[in-house]
Structure 1
Amino acid sequence: MTNDSREQWTSKFGFILASIGSAVGLGSIWRFPFVTGENGGGSFVLIYLLCVLFLGLPVLLSEIVLGRSTQRNPVGALRLQGPGTFWFLGGYIGILATGIILAFYSTVGGWTLFYTWQSILGNLGGLSIGEAETRFTAFISDPVIPVLWQALFMILTMGICLFGLQNGIERTNKFLMPMLGILLSILVIRSITLPGAMEGVRFILYPDWSDVSFTTIFEALGMAFFSLSVGAGTMITYGSYLSKKESIPSAVGNVVVFSTLVSLAAGLAIFPAVFSLGYEPSAGPPLVFITLTAVFAQMPAGGLFAVLFFFLLSMAALTSSISLLEVPLRYFEDEHNLSRQKGTILIGGLIFLLGIASTLSFSTWSHVKGIAGLPIFESMDFVASNVLLPLGGLVIIIFSAWKWGMHQVLEALRGEDGNRLAGEGFWGFVARWITPVLILAVFVFQVLSNL
């Protein structure tokens, strides 16, 4: 059962760029470098790449196959392929996850816009790392200014979604993703040509197994899972716009390869510069907004490269945020006949109001605690990233591999020509037996380690 009137991508290229844009966000350019820095560099990267293949790829394939086969949102797709069962609840988990993620994501999205503007004005030049930390703390502690930048970020996100699939999401990604690639390449070249930069290159590319622990392995599993934008139904939604004539394996292969390359390039843009100027690679989440601000202040032509980097970060945040908003929008369009215009304003507005709480958790609501005594921002991150996304991914992979069945999944993957795919048996085994165990391990580890 499909929806023949459903809007579709104008080409497989448009789908690939939009999917890469969804996967390549703050997770790839903000989170990946600092998690890599905290977990020893090259050994973490190698484990991460293996996890992309054995955890992220099977779920990504399953989500896109479900979406294209049903041409429905996450709830509708699971309901159509598993009528009379409870599997559709996995779709609701994804929709809830995207709403919560976008709420706190818009907080950081506002920070990226603010830092882009500040770098354009030249207000970040000449700062020491102590001054950069003071500047960042003063900004996020203000009860008004960060909310205004968050509002601007949400207005941009909603504005793109208002134009629909082809004129909004696809056209935006066709413009932003090539630009992101060009800017990131420029930053990588500049970073690795700094004096002493090769130490940073070795840090990210050469494994050092002496510091590897179970924590490193599970962090890599989680990073692979989240960096491909799986578990929240985003790729079910994007897959539902994909023509039956297009090859899913080749499209997914491009998404995985380019998304992974962007993460690695982000590391190569950051760590050589950090090592060159003598900063600590394991600075954690402040690595971008504090450490890199100080790095750019000392780098030749640093003002220009600060503008390029923070603009790049803003673009990456925006391409992910529109995919997050599209999931609940598509659900309400499909299941409740809500128009895109009304849905965008209503859902986007509600998510913005929820996001205000996460933004104020750094200022006037800093005393308010949520899950496990965490501040509101971190509570949202914990619930979405450590609970809802793994649960959503687990439901999708078990449903696809066992309820719907690998035979049906592989048949849908083959497309209209029906040609068998290389390694079908191997990937069927991985999807049924390896991936669910790994996702469950990530889920249990992350929940227990944060309680």
Structure 2
Amino acid sequence: MSVRFSRVGHVLASAGAAIGVANLVIFPYRVHYFGGSAYILAFVVFTLLMGIPLMVLENAMGKRRGTDATEAFTWPGTSKNWQAVAWLGILTSIMVASFYLVLAGWTLDYVWTYLTDYAAVATTPAGPAFGAAIGTIPRALLFTGLFTAMVAFVCSRELYAGIERLGKFAMPVLGLLLIFLIVSLPLLRPGALDYPNLLKFDWRGLLIPTDNRELGLLHALGQAFFSLGLGAVSMMTFATHADRETNVLRAAPQIVHLDTAVAILGAVLVLPLIGGAEGDIYAGPPLVFINLVEIFKTYGMAAQWVGLLFFFLLGVAILTSAVSLFEPALRTMTERYGWRRRSGGPVVGLLVFALAVPVVISCSADGPAWLTNFAGMGDPGLGYFNFLLEWFGSISLLIGELLLCWFLLKVWGLPAFFEELAFGGHRVTAADRKRLTWQLRYVIPIGIALLLLAKIWTFF
């Protein structure tokens, strides 16, 4: 029985944790609207400039203590108040999971429908069908509960039999499905895909604000944080399972590059599909459940299997991410309070499902107005869903990373950080030290401050 990740297992599990809806849904939509390949280039630059050093930092902190996120912020001679940063991350993970698993439930619902009743998909307009799927509360709760149970089952098993085995299975499956769809769709409908939509290079889409005060360049910056799952101590927690002598300077870029590769493959798959689509292209989940479903219908006899493979692909990506959202709370329960994984996993699952119930209700036209238009964020419904997505899926992550950088600079200290990177005989060059110092002291805090200011600007 393994109590640590293997080195390959750590990279694959962490990459699987990062890869999810942000790669396959949000990223393609933003590439479409914010400059095409110009947005991709900006995202890659921000990922290299900020994503890698933050991944290095979270991995180094996690493996240094090897217990849980709260212990990672426990330092001799310093206030225990720093543990609040870890608790904020754990809260963020749980709250993100509460709406993430509702989205997972929709995905599982579509997988089931494509398998058992494709005639209904083929004959019903995708918009009303999606509205009915998310608005039928008992059905939405059923599929959300089923997906939550799957996540709880994986997390409740011992490390190798659960999370590591999932990562080793899911990552190759994700890659193969993506490549298969990218190659097969043009063969099924030659000339139907709009590759210029992907290849366009429009800096104006990055630099000119939209009517809603959205700036593509800042979206690309935020994508670099959100896509990697940084700021919710999930990457830090996964690193607590890593071997003490893991070379973080090597492992962290591998995790980031895998995530970036899947995001780009997601854009290569989705962008040509929606480039020639008629009508509005929706943001977020409706892009998949409405726009893509209608596009898949045009593939004739292959339509059922094209849609089924895509939703299965999306479900696998969500599953690996959801496991990482459970793990910070579960790891704290096992290390700090002595729980066993096989009992802690179901408890975390029940907690997340209970928190997901109001999210499901907020997506239904039959839900009360205080949920469907929570904090005035209904558009026209999904108010509570949108609130959680904005505050815990964005702002809380940014605050968590800002506090983490502050902790590094004020408590841990850069010299001790570099000692940890070198632990096990690994080489940390002068150039590595200079680059990481510059990034963690100046570039990343400034980038996060700009994102938070942009959030305030769009609110008012």
Q: Per the shorter chain, which TM-score range?
A: over 0.9
Pick from 137, 143, 146 the counterpart of residue 137 of structure 2. Answer: 143
State the shift of 1:425 in Å.
0.9
Following TM superposition, by how much is the alpha carbon of 1:121 offset from its aligned partner in structure 2, in angstroms? 2.5
Q: 2:212 maps to which residue?
A: none
Partner of 1:370: 374
2:399 partner letter? L
CA distance in 2, matches of 1:217, 1:403: 32
Task: State the number of aligned residues.
Answer: 443
Pairwise CA RMSD: 2.2
1-structure distance, mates of 2:340, 2:310? 37
Residues 54-103 of structure 1 deviation map (CA, whole Å, 9 limit, x = unaligned): 22222111110000011122221012377325322111110010010000
Are the aligned partners of 2:234 and 2:328 in contact in 1 as well (CA < 8 Å)?
A: yes
Change (3 A) 1:198 1:139: closer
Contact 1:124/1:297 (CA < 8 Å) preserved in 2? no
The whole-number CA distance in structure 1 between the counterparts of 2:51 and 2:169 is 26
Contact 2:94-2:352 within 8 A present in 1 as well = yes
How is 1:135-214 mapped onto 2 (pairs within 5 angstroms)?
Answer: 135-193=129-187, 194-196=189-191, 199-200=194-195, 202-213=196-207
Q: Which residue of 1 aligns with 2:109?
A: 114
Q: TM-score under structure 2 normalisation?
A: 0.91
Q: Distance in 2 between matches of 1:268 and 1:331?
A: 39
Structure 1 alignment gaps of length 5 or more: none
What are the residue-to-residue correspondences of 1:76-155 with 2, within 5 Å? 76-80=71-75, 83-123=78-118, 127=122, 131-155=125-149
- Whether the 8 Å contact between 1:158 and 1:348 is mirrored in structure 2 is yes
Q: Residue 58 of structure 1 contacts residue 397 of structure 1 at CA under 8 Å; is this kept in 2? A: no
**1:436 — aligned with what?**
445
Q: Of the candidates 426, 438, 441, which is equivalent to residue 435 of structure 2?
A: 426
CA contact (8 A) 2:149 2:346 kept: no
* Corresponding residue for residue 44 of structure 2: 49
Q: Does 1:234 align with 2:260?
A: no
Q: Give, as a single letter, the amino acid of the residue that structure 2 aligns with 1:440.
A: A
What is residue 334 of structure 2 aligned with on the other side?
333
Q: Aligned partners of 2:396 and 2:246: how far apart in 1? A: 30
SS across alignment from 2:82: coil
Relative to 1, partners in 2 of residues 1:171 and 1:230: Cα closer, same or farther, differing over 3 Å?
A: same
**Residue 350 (structure 2) aligns with:** 349
Q: Is the Cα contact below 8 Å between 2:2 and 2:159 reproduced in 1?
A: no
- The one-letter code matched in structure 1 to 2:4 is Q
The equivalent of 2:53 in structure 1 is 58
Counterpart in 2 of 1:262?
A: 262
Match of 1:392 among 385, 388, 400: 400
Q: Note the alpha carbon deviations across 1:169-215, whole angstroms, 9 max, x for none.
A: 11111111111110011111124554346633x33344211222261
**Residues 133 and 174 (structure 1), Cα distance of their counterparts in 2 relative to 1, 3 Å cut:** same
1:133 Cα deviation from its structure 2 partner: 0.7
**AA of the residue aligned to 1:35:** R
Cα separation, 2, equivalents of 1:248 and 1:241: 13
Which whole-Å CA distance do the structure 1 matches of 2:216 and 2:268 have between them?
20
Q: 1:423 to 1:111 in 2, by over 3 A?
A: same
User: Using the alignment, how far apart are the partners of 2:33 and 2:84 within structure 1?
Assistant: 35
Structure 1 residue 280: Cα displacement: 5.9
Higher deviation after alignment, 149-158 or 378-387: 378-387
The one-letter code of the counterpart of 1:7 is: V
Instruction: Give the conservation status (yes or no) of the 8 Å contact 1:25–1:317.
Output: yes
Partner Cα distance (1:203, 1:405) in 2: 46
Contact 2:152 2:348 in 1 (8 A): no
Code of the aligned partner of 1:347: V
Q: Deviations over 1:26-53 (max 9, x none)?
A: 1211221122223232221111111112
Deviations 1:353-410 (A, max 9, x none): 1101101111132512433544111111122023211111111122224431222222
Say whether the 8 Å CA contact 2:33–2:205 is kept in structure 1.
no
Q: 1:107 to 1:415 in 2, by over 3 A?
A: same
Q: Please list the CA deviations of residues 307-359 of structure 1 after superposition, one character each: whole Å capped at 9, or x if unmatched.
A: 11100000001000011001111112222222223322222211101101101
Given candidates 4, 9, 15, the residue that maps to 1:8 is 4
Secondary structure of the structure 1 residue equivalent to 2:229: coil
2:360 maps to a residue whose letter is T
Choose the corresponding residue for 2:12, options 13, 17, 39.
17
For residues 231 and 118 of structure 2, the distance between their equivalents in structure 1, rounded to whole angstroms, comes to 39
